[in-house]
Amino acid sequence: MTAGLVAPSPTPWRQAWSRFARRWPAVLGLGAVLLIVLAALLAPAIAPHDPLAMPDPVGLRAAPPSWPHLLGTDAFSRDMLSRLLYGARVSLAVGIASALIAVLLGGAVGFAAGLGSPAVDALLMRGVDVALALPRVFILLAALALWDDVPLGAIILLIALTGWFGVSRLVRSHVRRLAAEPWAAATTALGGGRRRMMRHLLPHVAATIIVSATLDIGNIILLEAGLSFLGLGLGPPTPTWGNMILEGRDLLFTAPWVALTPGLALTVTVIAFNLVGDGLRDALDPRAVARSAAGGVA
């Protein structure tokens, strides 16, 4: 406590980090996320086999786990562990890239509505209201069914384009709330335009944006896996966790490990991202924590 009087107080980001680091579930989640990302990046180097190679479609068909094939093989004798590692690349690429694009789009629209004239605000938010009621999954189904083999970029874009509405609302209301505060009024009084205002608001709103992006990654990974399970998206032989489960489904009663491992990988990955997201939310918005803690103790 006394040290705080002498030493310069740490920046808000540093404080947030120390709050984050104090929660073991969040740290565990972050560790898992880093490990999974690393495994996906290094897939070509660490995968024991070629994920597409079919060494012995008859003798090694859906073989149980063994030393040369730690997680067994699938219906075409391909190595499950290698396919799992390569499949991680698709899930992570779609999850992270789509969440990033969605958040940038939603953030831009949210700022435009929050700082714009009432007419612009009303127009944008009415539009977002309507868009939020769109049956996202069915629109994705219809759009993806147009192609037999959808390029990765198209999947990322389609998921991002149908997923930014919620963020824009969050950002807009946060911007409105901040813009009503005295220091924001002071910015305007000192002659700052919308540009200056945005520069002042951005660091505050960044927390909202980062948290919602992180929590969105998990949802998007599940969404992509579901689409893949329906046979939409990257077609075979490219391994994705979703289409691996689809292929494992035919072997469900004879070789359950083929469907089991990609599903476990999905669950662990999504849990990891959600733990990080929950941790970030608590760390970046200490007031929310204080509120819920007060509610809990009283």
Partner 1 sequence: MARFAFRRLAAALLTVALVVSITFVLAHLAPGEPMLADAERFHVDPARVARVRAEFGLDRPLATQYAMYLGNAIRGNLGESFTMRRPAVALLLERFPHTALLAGAALLIAFAAGIAVALVQATRPGSWTDALLSGATLAFHSTPTFWLGLILLVVCAQWLGWLPVGGMTTPVEHQAMGAMGRMLDVGRHLVLPALTLALVQTAEIARYQRGALLDALGSEFVRAARAKGLAERAVLVRHALRSALAPVVTLAGMSVPALLAGSVLVESVFGWPGMGRLTRDAIVSRDYNLILAAAVASAVLVALGNLVADLAAHALDPRTTL
Binding site for partner 1 (CB under 8 A): 129-131, 133-139, 141-143, 145-146, 218, 222, 225-226, 229-232, 242, 245, 248-249, 252-253, 256, 259-260, 262-263, 266-267, 270-271, 274-275, 278, 292, 294-298
Q: How far is the CB of 222 from partner 1 (least distance, A)?
A: 5
Please, how many CA atoms are within 13 Å of residue 1, restricted to the half-sphere of its CB?
0
Q: How far is CA 192 from the centre of its chain?
A: 35
Closest to partner 1 by CB, 197 vs 259, is 259
The nearer residue to partner 1, 55 or 263, going by C-beta atoms, is: 263
Judged by beta carbon, residue 116 or residue 263, the one nearer partner 1 is: 263
* C-beta closer to partner 1: residue 184 or 270: 270
**Toward partner 1, which CB reaches closer, 238 or 261?**
261
Least separation in angstroms between residue 203's CB and partner 1 is 27
CB of residue 28 vs partner 1: minimum separation in angstroms? 11
Q: How far is the CB of 54 from partner 1 (least distance, A)?
A: 24
> Using omega within 30 degrees of 0 as the cis cutoff, is the peptide bond preceding 237 cis?
yes
Is the separation of the CB atoms in 258 and 251 below 8 Å?
yes
Q: Which two tokens stand for residue 217?
A: 């990654």
Residue number with CB closer to partner 1 (152 or 154): 154
The distance of closest approach from Cβ of residue 259 to partner 1 in the complex, given in angstroms and rounded to an integer, is: 5
Question: Shortest approach of partner 1 to residue 59 CB, angstroms?
Answer: 25
| CB-nearer residue toward partner 1: 201 or 225 | 225
Q: Pick between residue 16 and residue 275 the one whose CB is nearest to partner 1.
A: 275
Report, in Å, the least distance between residue 130 CB and partner 1: 5
Contact between 225 and 240 (Cβ < 8 Å): yes
Minimum distance, C-beta of residue 237 to partner 1, in the bound complex (Å) = 18
Exposed e or buried b per residue across 211-231, where buried means at least 16 C-beta atoms within 10 angstroms of its C-beta: bbbbbbbbbbbbbbbbbbbbe
